[in-house]
Chain A
Amino acid sequence: MTNLTHLSMSDALAGLKAKDFTALELTNAYIAAVEAARPLNAFITETPDIALEQAKASDARYAAGTNLPLDGMPLGIKDLFCTKGVLTTAASHILDGFKPEYESTITENLFRDGVVMLGKLNLDEFAMGSANITSYYGPVLNPWTGKDPAGADRKLVPGGSSGGSAASVSGRFAIAATGTDTGGSIRQPASFTGIVGLKPTYGRCSRWGTIAFASSLDQAGPMTRTVRDAALMLQSMAGFDPKDSTSVDMKVPDFLASLTGDIRGLRVGIPKEYRVDGMPAEIERVWSQGIEWLKAAGATPVEVSLPHTKYALATYYVVAPAECSSNLARYDGVRFGLRVEGKDLAEMYENTRGQGFGKEVRRRILIGTYVLSAGYYDAYYLKAQKVRARIAEDFAKAFEQCDILLTPTAPSTAFAIGEKQDDPIAMYLNDVFTVPASLAGLPGMSVPAGLAYDGLPLGLQLIGRPFDEETMLRVADVIEKAAGPQPLPPYCR
Chain B
Amino acid sequence: MSQDKATLDAKTVAKIAHLARIKVPAEEQEHLAGELNKLLDWVEQLGEVDTDGVEPMTSVAAQTLRRRADVVTDGGYPDKVVSNATDAAEHFFSVPKVVE
Interface residues of A (CB under 8 A from B): 97-101, 202-203, 216, 242, 245-246, 248-249, 308, 310-311, 314-315, 317-318, 325, 329, 332-339, 341-351, 353-355, 357, 362-363, 365-367, 369-370, 373, 375-376, 378-380, 382-390, 392, 424-425, 439-441
Asked, given contacts A311-B49, A387-B51, whether A370 binds B21 with beta carbons under 8 Å apart, the answer is: no
18 additional contacts, CB 8 Å, given A314-B46, A354-B24?
A98-B84, A101-B81, A203-B60, A314-B43, A317-B42, A318-B46, A325-B20, A335-B84, A345-B98, A350-B17, A353-B20, A354-B25, A365-B20, A366-B36, A383-B1, A389-B57, A424-B38, A425-B38
Main secondary structure of the interface of B (DSSP, over half): loop
For residue B69, which residues in chain A have a CB less than 8 angstroms away from its CB?
Answer: none
Residue of A whose beta carbon sits closest to that of B25:
A354
Instruction: Give min CB distance, B68 to chain A, whole Å.
Output: 8
Q: Specify which of A311, A342, A424 is in contact with B96 (CB 8 Å cutoff).
A: A342
In contact, B49 and A101 (Cβ under 8 angstroms): no
Contact B39 A367, beta carbon cutoff 8 Å: yes
Q: Measured between C-beta atoms, what is the minimum distance from B24 to chain A in Å?
A: 7
Q: Could you tell me which B residues sit within 8 Å of A by CB distance?
A: 1, 4-6, 8, 13, 16-25, 32, 35-36, 38-40, 42-43, 45-49, 51, 54-61, 63, 65-66, 68, 77, 80-87, 93, 95-98
Shortest distance from the beta carbon of B29 to any chain A beta carbon, whole Å? 11
Closest 7 CB pairs of A and B: A441-B60, A354-B23, A385-B56, A336-B84, A386-B51, A379-B4, A389-B57
Q: How far is the CA of A343 from the CA of B23 in the complex (A)?
A: 13
Which residues of the other chain, A, contact B48 by a CB distance below 8 angstroms? Answer: 311
Cβ-defined contact, B95 with A334, below 8 A: yes
Specify the chain A residue showing the minimal Cβ separation from B98.
Answer: A345
Task: Tell me the smallest distance from the CB of A286 to a CB of chain B, in Å.
Answer: 28
Complex contact B86–A390 (CB within 8 A) = no
27 A-B pairs whose Cβ atoms sit less than 8 Å apart in the complex: A202-B61, A242-B68, A246-B61, A317-B42, A329-B21, A334-B95, A336-B84, A338-B86, A345-B96, A345-B97, A347-B96, A348-B96, A353-B23, A354-B24, A354-B25, A362-B22, A365-B22, A366-B17, A378-B4, A380-B43, A382-B56, A383-B1, A386-B54, A390-B49, A390-B54, A392-B60, A440-B60
In the complex, chain A residues whose CB is within 8 Å of the CB of B6: 376
Rounded to whole Å, the gap between the CB of B99 and the closest CB of chain A is 10
Taking the nearest CB of chain B, how far is it from the CB of A314, in angstroms? Answer: 4
Residues of B within 8 A of A347 (CB): 23, 96
A242 to B68 alpha-carbon distance, docked (Å): 10
Our pick among B18, B49, B82, B96 for the contact of A308 (Cβ within 8 Å) is B49
How distant is the Cα of A384 from the Cα of B51 in the complex, in angstroms? 10
| Contact between B46 and A311, CB atoms less than 8 A apart | yes
Q: How far is the CB of B63 from chain A (nearest CB, A)?
A: 7
A332 B21 Cβ-Cβ under 8 A: yes
> What is the minimal beta-carbon distance from B46 to any residue of chain A, in angstroms?
5
On whether the beta carbons of B46 and A315 are closer than 8 Å, the reply is: yes
Interface pair B42/A314, CB less than 8 Å apart: yes
Taking CB atoms, residues of chain B closer than 8 Å to A367 are 36, 39-40
Complex interface: chain A residues within 8 A of B96 (CB):
341-345, 347-348
